[in-house]
Structure 1
Amino acid sequence: MDRRGNHRLRRGRISEAGRLYLLTTTTRNRTPLFSDLYFARAVIKQLRLSEQEGACRSLAWVLMPDHLHWLVELGRGGLSSLMRTFKSRSSCALYRAGADRQRVWQAGFYDRALRREEDIKATARYIIANPLRAGLVSRAGDYPHWDCVWL
């Protein structure tokens, strides 16, 4: 079901296998579900499953209490398919872990295609530094819900 304004998120969106994308999605009403360690780990498992199945290659990600930043190299399928599958599977995993059976994710997602000449490692560092900027930790390494292929 389309929500008001979702069409603007898709305008101009293209999906190219092998292209790099920065994806961002938030929980419904910005509910801080991932402050709970078990809920966060259930979602992280689904991130890794997306990669194992060839839908993407995760370069960097951080799971904040109420949103996800995910830098990927797109694999098989498109962006919408990747995010739809990830959101569906992670919602089911959260329900199994004891989360309330309400919609977990906000409709839609934001994406930004990166150019090959952009400094990809700088983008990854920016992603990983999110918990620092949010004041959740004083060192990036102290935050438990992130990963990066270069660190």
Structure 2
Amino acid sequence: MSARPQSRRLRVGRCSQIDQVYLITAVTHNRQPFFSDWRAARLLVHQLRKAQWAGLADSLSWVVMPDHFHWLMQLKHRELSSVVHRVKCQAAGQINGYLGRSGQFWQRGFHDRALRSDEDVRPVARYIIANPIRAGLVKRVHDYPLWDAHWLDGCEY
């Protein structure tokens, strides 16, 4: 199956609702581990923060893994696809420049899941930031530098 039909399927039924909380996952092209380079990963983190500073989304939690990222965010302005596209596009340009490469950086599209209004976001945030533990990258989340959750400073992982 080609990438285009799969990409189209990722968009079927997607809607954007202001103040809705979404879990976003985006993967690098061919799952290349670009974010194993901490400086490259920090360029992506900067774009996540810029989306918040611009008032596009409130970042509730995120983690950057070697070949993908998870972002729990509350949409504040614009359409979901537009906000994620902006983050991915600007990050790709900066990271490609930093790495001295060109070409496709991300897989097409992204996965999103809207959380139900009665769903507690904290367990989802904990699940996100525990990704490095489940992947065997670290034994404790505090040993991994590429995550944040605005209310989980004191969590015991």
TM-score by length of 2: 0.92
Displacement after TM superposition at 1:99 (Å)? 4.2
Displacement after TM superposition at 1:136 (Å)? 0.2
SS at structure 2 position matched to 1:5: helix
Give the aligned residue type for 2:27: T
SS at structure 2 position matched to 1:3: helix
List, as ranges, runs of 4+ consecutive aligned residues in structure 1 with deviation greater than 3 Å: none
Aligned equivalents of 1:108 and 1:69: distance in 2? 14
User: Paired residue for 2:155?
Assistant: none
Q: Percent identity?
A: 47
User: Paired residue for 1:49?
Assistant: 50
Displacement after TM superposition at 1:149 (Å)? 0.9
Displacement after TM superposition at 1:6 (Å)? 1.5
Deviations 1:86-137 (A, max 9, x none): 1110011112312411211100000000012112100000000000000000
SS at structure 1 position matched to 2:101: coil
Give the aligned residue type for 2:20: R
User: Paired residue for 2:113?
Assistant: 112
Stretches of structure 2 that go unaligned for 5 or more consecutive residues are 153-157
Aligned equivalents of 1:36 and 1:7: distance in 2? 31
Structure 1 pair 65/128, CA: closer, same or farther in 2 (3 Å)? same
User: Paired residue for 1:74?
Assistant: 75
User: Paired residue for 2:12?
Assistant: 11
Stretches of structure 1 that go unaligned for 5 or more consecutive residues are none
SS at structure 2 position matched to 1:84: helix
TM-score by length of 1: 0.96
User: What is the Cα-based RMSD across aligned positions, in Å?
Assistant: 1.1
Aligned equivalents of 2:129 and 2:144: distance in 1? 9
Give the aligned residue type for 2:37: D
SS at structure 1 position matched to 2:30: helix
Give the aligned residue type for 2:15: I
Aligned equivalents of 1:116 and 1:150: distance in 2? 19
